[in-house]
Amino acid sequence: MNSGIVPISDVQLALSVILVLIAGGISAMLRLGLLKSLAWGTVRTFVQLTFIGYVLKYVFSANNLWIIAGLIVVMCFIAARASVQRTPNVPSYPVALAFWSLLASTVLVGFVVVRIIINPEPWYSARIVIPVFGMILGNSMNGIALSLDRLYGEVKSRADEIETLLAFGATPWEAVRGCVREAVRSGMTPTVNSLMVVGLVSLPGMMTGQILGGADPHEAVRYQIVVMLMIAAAVAIGCLLLVGLSYKKMFTPDGALKPEVCESKK
């Protein structure tokens, strides 16, 4: 079996733009209004990934625990902002709640994976920690965005039912318990679906990357199993934390449902 990464030259990289031109042509032909977004997204992809390539090169060479920790905190903050901005049913941007939920779930699950399961030397090896935490965040941010949006959507649609329960003496938790359950389920559904079809329908990114880099497929599969399970755990914890913290913000100190909860973002 051939080993090693097949290098991509500057010319070959430039040729990849052809793929975007195909998508842009389809958008223009059908008048989807996505041509500008595709062009801007392509430029951002080149710039952002090139920039992060230089950053990671420095972080990997320094391999300093505090630099790694600082980078993870910044990644969590960016992920938190991106996730809450995808929630049209939420009347405000609960960035702080999303940040702490992502940080807690990412650090907890990431530490277990890096320190106990993989256990590199040193255990905070940047080449292991940054990709692992990045994969956790990339999936968790989508999960918490879905769960938060679903929570507010459910409460909005059941506002009359919730207020009736409150009037009969139910606590806020008792009144929205069903909404919380649906919200967490919504956030976890994409991850559960991925678990069901991985290896049959899709070959995930980490496994594919290792195989392209010359790794043995059996070893790549082992890593991918760990990745899928850690993502499932992180998404579950992140959704539960965010929904658990958010539902309390939907009520006044007296236990009444806030009027702005039933409003959508403009």
> Do residue 49 and residue 91 come from a single domain?
no
Q: Which of 50-64, 178-192, 242-256 has the lowest average pLDDT?
A: 242-256
- The answer to whether residue 212 scores a pLDDT higher than 90 is no
- The answer to whether residue 204 scores a pLDDT higher than 70 is no
Query: Of 164, 140, 152, 169, which is closest to residue 230 (Cα–Cα)?
Result: 140
pLDDT of 1 reads: 47
Structure-token pair, residue 54:
């230089």
> Do residue 54 and residue 114 come from a single domain?
no
> Do residue 50 and residue 90 come from a single domain?
no
pLDDT of 120 reads: 86
pLDDT of 202 reads: 64
Distance of CA 24 to the CA centre of its chain: 26
Range(s) of the domain holding residue 202: 63-262
pLDDT bracket for residue 265 (50, 70, 90): low
CA distance 139 to 231: 7
The alpha carbon dihedral of 62, 68, 74, 79 has a sign of positive
CA distance 23 to 42: 11
- What is the pLDDT of the chain when averaged over all its residues? 84
> Do residue 191 and residue 96 come from a single domain?
yes
Q: How many domains does the chain have?
A: 2
- Using H for helix, E for strand and C for coil, what is the string for 129-160? HHHHHHHHHHHHHHHHHHHHHHHHHHHHHCHH
pLDDT of 203 reads: 65
CA distance 161 to 244: 20
Report the share of the chain in percent with pLDDT over 90.
19
As a whole number, mean pLDDT of residues 33-58 equals 88
> Do residue 41 and residue 171 come from a single domain?
no
* 211 or 12, which is more confident: 12
Question: Has this prediction a pTM greater than 0.85?
Answer: no
> Do residue 53 and residue 68 come from a single domain?
no
As a whole number, mean pLDDT of residues 82-111 equals 85
- The answer to whether residue 3 scores a pLDDT higher than 60 is no
Q: Which of 12-16, 24-28, 154-158, 206-210 has the lowest average pLDDT?
A: 206-210
- The answer to whether residue 10 scores a pLDDT higher than 70 is yes
Choosing from 62, 91, 111, the residue where a domain stops is 62
As a whole number, mean pLDDT of residues 188-194 equals 88
* 206 or 104, which is more confident: 104
User: Cα dist. 200→180, 195, 204 in Å?
Assistant: 32, 10, 11
- The answer to whether residue 60 scores a pLDDT higher than 70 is yes
pLDDT of 182 reads: 92
> Do residue 137 and residue 255 come from a single domain?
yes
> Do residue 42 and residue 88 come from a single domain?
no
* DSSP per position, 211-263: HHTT--HHHHHHHHHHHHHHHHHHHHHHHHHHHHHHGGGGB-TTSPBPGGGGP
> Do residue 206 and residue 80 come from a single domain?
yes
> Do residue 139 and residue 238 come from a single domain?
yes
Partner residues linked to 251 by β-bridges: 257
- The answer to whether residue 174 scores a pLDDT higher than 90 is no
Query: Of 104, 87, 213, which is closest to residue 154 (Cα–Cα)?
Result: 87
> Do residue 54 and residue 168 come from a single domain?
no
As a whole number, mean pLDDT of residues 205-233 equals 79
- For the chain, the distance separating the N- and C-terminal CA atoms, rounded to the nearest angstrom, is 56
- The answer to whether residue 27 scores a pLDDT higher than 70 is yes
Q: How many CB atoms neighbour CB 218 within 10 A?
A: 7
CA distance 55 to 49: 10
- The answer to whether residue 177 scores a pLDDT higher than 60 is yes
> Do residue 196 and residue 166 come from a single domain?
yes
- What 3-state DSSP class applies to 107? helix
As a whole number, mean pLDDT of residues 120-149 equals 88
Q: What is the CA radius of gyration of the chain?
A: 22
